Copies of this chain bind each other. A is one copy, B any other.
Amino acid sequence: MINIIILGAGNVATHLYLAIQNASGVNVLQWYNRNLKSLEAHKNETDITDDISSLKIADVYIIAISDDAISELSEKLPFKDRLIVHTSGSTSLHNLNSKNNRGVFYPLQTFSKDAQINFKEIPICIEIEHKSDLKVLRNLANAIESKHYRVNSDQRAALHLAAIFVNNFVNQLYRIGHEITESKSVEFNILKPLIKETALKLQTLSPYLAQTGPAKRNDKKTIKKHLRALEKNKTHKAIYELMTKSIIETHGKKL
């Protein structure tokens, strides 16, 4: 049995808690949060605490709190030489205090509080300071049925940066689609099947091969017409121009 202590009560912490409690071979021995209220719904299932000095001995301590607070909390831990991991994509392993063995257990997914999360679908990026700590983290990932990948700091940073493009920026393009359709009183719903298909296509086709449209064809007439239609919104127009330029760069045609 792998005993885990979770520190934090946000989205990632809560989803990890649920996944671990539903898995076999792993157990949440204790759940810490500085504010006990957020944990009270679970007090009959596990030991909850807001007292850092009362933390038990566990195999892995998972710090799943906001990036800025990781360093401070790891410093406060009243023990040493145990395995501490954080779950952040963009925080260095070295932000964890060096009195303990350090690692990262980064689930690369978008977490909403309400949405049900299936860890089978979530890749976990594992980074460790000491090779001997790899096994327990792998076993933890296996127990919650996540695919796991061992990465180094540079690779994790690249994944986090790429995730900004394919998640936050993609979502903002959806938002712009929403604004454009709303401005002409058309239902945004009409675009949803296209949004879905564009993402699903990627599961089997590279984005290079999946590309279509006026920019790839270098169809200047259509591009010009679109830029005219975007005249009223400078940011939308700038995005259209820049993304078109990027597609043309990728597909090797000059404007």
Contact = CB atoms under 8 A, between A and B. Distances in A.
Interface of A: 67-68, 90, 108-110, 112, 115, 121-123, 125, 149, 151, 154-155, 157-159, 161-178, 180-181, 183-187, 189-203, 205-208, 210-216, 221-222, 225-226, 229-230, 235-236, 238-240, 242-243, 245-247, 249-250
A161 B192 contact: no
A82 to B, nearest CB: 28
A253 B254 CA distance: 36
A221 B119 CA distance: 29
A108 B199 contact: no
B122 A193 contact: yes
A199 B201 contact: no
A194 B161 contact: no
A229 B157 contact: yes
Contacts of A221: 68
A243 B240 CA distance: 11
Contacts of A157: 184, 229
B164 A194 contact: no
A180 B155 CA distance: 10
A92 B84 CA distance: 62
Contact of A155 (B159, B164, B186, B236): B186
Contacts of A121: 193, 196-197
24 contacts: A67-B222, A90-B214, A109-B193, A110-B197, A112-B205, A155-B186, A159-B190, A162-B180, A164-B215, A166-B174, A167-B195, A167-B198, A168-B213, A168-B215, A169-B243, A170-B198, A170-B199, A174-B210, A175-B207, A192-B203, A199-B199, A199-B200, A235-B245, A239-B242
